[in-house]
Amino acid sequence: MSSVDVRARMNAIGILKEKFKIILDQIQRGEKPTLVMPKRVLSNTIYDEKNKMLLLGPDVLRRSLIDVNEARKFMQTLLMASIIYEALVNNEYPTIRDLYYRGKHSIGYRDVDGKLVHENTWDEQKESDSVIRDLEVFMNVLREEMLILSKEKGKVVGNLVIKSGDDTIDLSKMGHGAYSIEPTPDLVEFRDVDAEYVLVVEKDAVFQQLHRYGFWRKYRAILVTSAGQPDRATRRFVRRLNEELKLPVYVLTDSDPYGFYIYSVFKIGSITLSYESERLATPSARFIGVSMTDVFGDEVFREVLDEVKEVGGFTKTALGKLKKKKPYLSESERRNYVIKAKQRDIERAVELVGYDVADKCVESSELRSKLKKKEGLTGYPWFRTPDWVRELCIFFKTLNKLEIEAMASKGLKFLADTYIPSKIEGGDWID
């Protein structure tokens, strides 16, 4: 076992003992065994505008053994804590799926009528996963710091030397492959780096193209892919590159509401894991594209401004001050590359920026009537900015989307040597 793992294991064991000794002390004092932790719910999730990240609010819940509404969750929490503790002291590396099966069993008891009843500790993995997240909140420790493993998803390549376990790995010597970001990214030590920035690419296929092309060598970049929706390890790794190595982070996604949301998960955090945004989110991350203005320019948006007084709470005058943009694609290229948005794309866009923007920008009265059920949605605060209102308004106006691969289809040289460098060097991003 590596010395790094030993230290992490001993630290996690110490925290578990310290935190759950509280329950033992309560019992010895004749008090009700109670766990107190921050509420991990949407109503207690706050967008910290100053620090640009999602955080848990001040509300707490009290999970007591003798509270009929909380007793099941209380016992599940202690059961999961004991399983994790046993895995730690036995030098094991369980996955979240392992933990689900280790704790899944039936408990038999007799009800008030004397009838024998059996109840499962938990029925589905989402129950045990939720308990693990509760433990993270209660202990203020990531599951990765307790050596709980998950599937490797993200990849990285570049002029970066790391130490993983007792091995030193040069990420510039990975051949045509790349280093798979391990499930415990905090146990990785950065030894040496020669890079100017981090480029996070949503699509694994585009990441591979840029890697084979030698983009990261030519432009001194650390190239990362999240292979779609980013996992925790990739988000933490990117945060560390930014925070510890002071490397700016740029995110390249599809030009659609799902790509925009993936960017926001890297930058702001996610509602589910808002309790760990300070370790997982990268507030300074910049969106370099693919944006709707890269595809259509901003003339479409200016047509909307000619017809309305405001969009998304911003006046026509304020929105008109946005820097004019020309598209990177010709009209014929747009016809070849854009894809018609589906209903779920449109509904996701409404969730991001709010119904009022859709109402102003969607041309079809029939479509607007379908979106009436979304009328109460006001959008996420971090998308209610002039730049993002323009981007989403163009999406609603054109009802088209575009994948990163379309830029590569225009030519890999264009993507690698024109589009990405010019966007970064020219400051053409959304912050």
Please give the positions annotated as active site.
101
Distance set, CA 109 to CA 73, 104, 122, 223 (Å): 18, 16, 16, 56
Contact indicator for 297, 326 with CB cutoff of 8 Å: yes
Task: Give, for 249, the enclosing helix (H) or strand (E).
Answer: strand 249-252
In whole angstroms, what is the distance from residue 108 CA to residue 170 CA? 54
Provide CB contacts within 8 A for 273, sequence distance 6+: 133, 232, 280
What residue spans of 268-371 are helical by DSSP H? 277-280, 292-296, 299-305, 316-320, 331-337, 343-353, 355-361, 365-370
| 270 phi/psi in degrees, rounded to 5 | -120, 155
Beta bridge partners, 45, equal 56
Residue keyed to tokens 């689900």 = 100
Tally the C-alpha atoms within 13 A of residue 266's C-alpha that lie toward its C-beta: 36
